[in-house]
Amino acid sequence: MYLEIVTPEASLVSGEVESVTVPGMDGEFQMLNNHASVVSLLMKGTMKFKGNPTIAEGYEGKFKQVDGSWTLDIKGGTIEMNNNKVIVLAD
């Protein structure tokens, strides 16, 4: 599936990933390939994704690698999963 992470500063990530885990309003949830369509608010927490998408130059320091996954701390935002494309608008 294709992941795009956008913040007010820049488009931080774009590319193919295996999974995306985000802090939703009712707790953490994960999306895999061919997941049903979802639109949700995100809460403060850590989002994770597994794969090797392109991280925008100059923003690599915002990400950490933990147990084979990339992590990014967010303050909140929204997520949309549709047709194997995940778009995260994060603060």
Q: Examine the pLDDT at 71 and tell me if it is beyond 90.
A: yes
pLDDT at 83: 95
pLDDT band at 67 (very low <50, low <70, confident <90, very high): confident
pLDDT at 68: 86
CATH architecture assigned to 2-90: Sandwich (2.60)
Domain residue ranges in the chain? 2-90
Q: Which residue has the higher pLDDT, 57 or 67?
A: 57
pLDDT at 48: 97
45 Cβ partners below 8 Å, 6+ apart? 22, 23, 28, 73, 74
